[in-house]
Amino acid sequence: MLQFLNKSLKSSNTFQLDVIADRVIELSDKADLSAAIADLSSSEGKRMILGGGSNVLFSGDYNGTVLLNQLKGIEVTGEDEEHYLITSASGVNWDGFVETSVKNDWYGLENLSLIPGTVGAAPIQNIGAYGQEAGNLIESVTSYDILNRTTFTLTGAQCRFGYRTSIFKNELKGRVFIINVTFRLRKHFTPILGYRDVAIRFEERESDGILAAEVREAVIEIRKAKLPNPAEIGNAGSFFKNPEISTAKFTALKQKHPGIPAYPIGNVVKIPAGWLIQEAGWKGRRYKNCGTYPKQALVLVNYGDAHPSELLELKEMIKTDVMEKFSIKLEEEVNIID
Ligand code: FAD
Ligand code: EPU
């Protein structure tokens, strides 16, 4: 377990913000887990866990202790006729985990290729992309309760996964360290081709002959064409969630804005926040050292040396303009760290 004082977090957050943490503990050996949690829970002041830093926006220097999770290891922990149970330590890189699963013929994760971050953060907002969500494949999550220093395991159902949410973003927010996640992955591959961008790639193919590696490759290409690479341009993916509005509100909006894209889900309608931001005039627009990405208005970017306050100002201006134009309140997907 390594410890650093007054350490820059620039390389530990994908917005690449040069903020300083009072103290950083790097946890890479499972044998140090109890000591690291004991240290964290008894440390004075603020404390937080950081994985890949790809879903956080620091609002300034962090006056507290950061536990940087680097626990590694992937194991087959069970199987039945149709599935493997695969347990991954929480500090494993998510896309490395997806790649390992595809190489080993453990199926289900392909559509979630190239999402940055760690396995341990996947259940927190129930990461999703291209027609799949991590929660659909999670068998259980084992965590350490930071307050009373006990470990406990929740089943997938107990995690209460929803669109970009789970128990970890609600009742358990800030209370636990996720140690490992067990996935129930299939032995037989069935491609998920419902999302338009993916469907187009495979429209000439028989579903039977499509390989998991091909779906992974297609998703990687789609993402590379649309989303900025955080190693080149600081960003944290979609900054806001796609809002869900009532059918009545949608009908009224559609009269005023006939081109509004919409995805009905049960008795609500999901509207792409990227479209709302674009129509509010923000697509590709710069503000000080930041802005929205020209190919995807939902992604806020740091063009270099942005101060956290610039991104906070930008996101507030966007929210105000979307509210004014559409009477829709955008909600942050990214975790703002005070
Ligand atoms: P961090 O940013 O380090 O942490 C996020 C939150 O989880 C923080 O509150 C942190 O305290 C907490 N946390 C992290 N690890 C633990 C742990 N072990 N125990 C307890 N709490 C913990 N997300 C999607 O859902 N779909 C996408 O398609 C997608 N695309 C993206 C594309 C880009 C280019 C980027 C930059 C981000 C994208 N994201 C996407 C968001 C992000 O990749 C995910 O939310 C990811 O799961 C965050 O992982 P992380 O390890 O970086 O978490
Ligand atoms: N759109 C625009 N202008 C834009 C961006 C989008 O009009 O600038 C409209 C288009 O109509 C487009 C639609 O929005 O067809 C959907 O866009 P896209 O396919 O890029 O997906 P998204 O809804 O913007 C969501 C997730 C992504 C995920 C993709 C693929 C949220 C908040 N975001 O984005 O997740 O990768 O779908 O499934 O749900 C993330 O969470 O960080 C993230 C990147």
Q: From the candidates 23, 164, 184, 216, give the one annotated as an active-site residue.
A: 164
Number of Cβ within 10 Å of residue 76's Cβ equals 12
93 within ligand 1 shell (Cβ under 6 A): no
| Two tokens, residue 139 | 């068998």
The yes-or-no verdict on residue 148 having pLDDT over 90 is: no
Best residue among 285, 298, 299, 300 to mutate for probing ligand 2's pocket (most ligand atoms within 8 Å of CB) is: 298
Query: In sequence order, which residues have a C-beta less than 8 Å from that of residue 51 and are 6 or more positions away?
Result: 69, 90, 91, 117, 118, 120, 121
**In the chain, where are the structural domains located?**
2-69, 74-226, 234-337
Mean pLDDT, rounded, of the chain: 97
CATH of the structural domain 74-226, one choice from 3.30.465.10, 3.30.930.10, 1.10.10.10, 3.20.20.70: 3.30.465.10
Q: Which fold has domain 2-69?
A: 3.30.43
What is the distance in A from the centroid of ligand 2 to the CA of 276?
A: 11
The yes-or-no verdict on residue 143 having pLDDT over 90 is: yes
Active site residue 316: no
| Two tokens, residue 297 | 């208005």
Confirm or reject CATH 1.10.101.10 for domain 234-337, answering yes or no.
Answer: no
Percentages of the chain per state (helix, strand, coil), in multiples of 5 = 30, 30, 40
The yes-or-no verdict on residue 44 having pLDDT over 90 is: no
27 within ligand 1 shell (Cβ under 6 A): no
Active site residue 8: no
Active site residue 333: yes
CA distance 121 to 109: 15
User: Residue 202's Cα: distance from chain center in Å?
Assistant: 26
pTM score of the predicted model? 0.98
Query: In sequence order, which residues have a C-beta less than 8 Å from that of residue 323 and are 6 or more positions away?
Result: 329, 330
CA distance 92 to 281: 39
| Two tokens, residue 258 | 């006939």
Chain segment 197-224, per-residue pLDDT in tens = 999 999 999 999 999 999 999 999 999 9
Chain segment 113-124, per-residue pLDDT in tens = 999 999 999 999
Determine which residue's CA is closest to atom 28 belonging to ligand 1.
129
Specify the long-range contacts of residues 289-295, CB closer than 8 Å, at least 24 apart.
Answer: 290/314, 292/318, 293/227, 293/228, 293/233, 293/235, 295/225, 295/226, 295/227
